Amino acid sequence: MLRIITILFGVIFIFAGSAGYLPSLTKDGLLLGLFAVDSMHNLVHIVSGVVAIMAATSYGLTVLYLRIFGLLYTAVGLWGFYTNGDLYFMQVNMPDNILHIVLGVVIAYLGFSASRKER
C-alpha cells in the first residue's frame, strides 16, 4: 500500500510541476492563482515525482524516499518562512510554504511510521 501511495505522490508532483509550465493554469507567475512557480520550482517538483515513482520499485527505497523527501519538503517550507520566500534558486510564497510543510509532515510520517514487516 505504501508503494502505491508513493506512486500517487509521484504522479501528483509531476502533474504540479508540468502544470506550472502551462500558461492557461499559470497567471502572473501563480499556479492556479495561488502558488508561486518558476522554471526551477517546476523542475524540482517533476524530479521529486520521477524519483518517487522510481523509489516505489521496492519497499525499502519507498521508505527511504518518504523519509528523506518528507524531511526535505518540511525543511524547504520552514526555510521559505524564515527567508520570506527567497530560497536563492527559486521563489516561494506563503501558500507554497504551508503546502510544503503539510506535504513534508505527511510524507515523513508515512516514511517513519512504516512497518518493517510490510515488505
pTM, two decimals, is: 0.88
Q: What is the pLDDT of residue 65?
A: 97
Q: What is the pLDDT along the chain (119 residues), one digit of tens a residue?
A: 999 999 999 999 999 999 999 999 998 889 999 999 999 999 999 999 999 999 999 999 999 999 999 999 999 999 988 988 788 888 888 999 999 999 999 999 999 998 766 55
In SS3 terms, the chain reads as: CHHHHHHHHHHHHHHHHHHCCCCCCEECCEECCCEECCHHHHHHHHHHHHHHHHHCCCHHHHHHHHHHHHHHHHHHHHHHHHCCCECCCCECCHHHHHHHHHHHHHHHHHHHCCCHHHC
Q: What is the pLDDT of residue 81?
A: 87
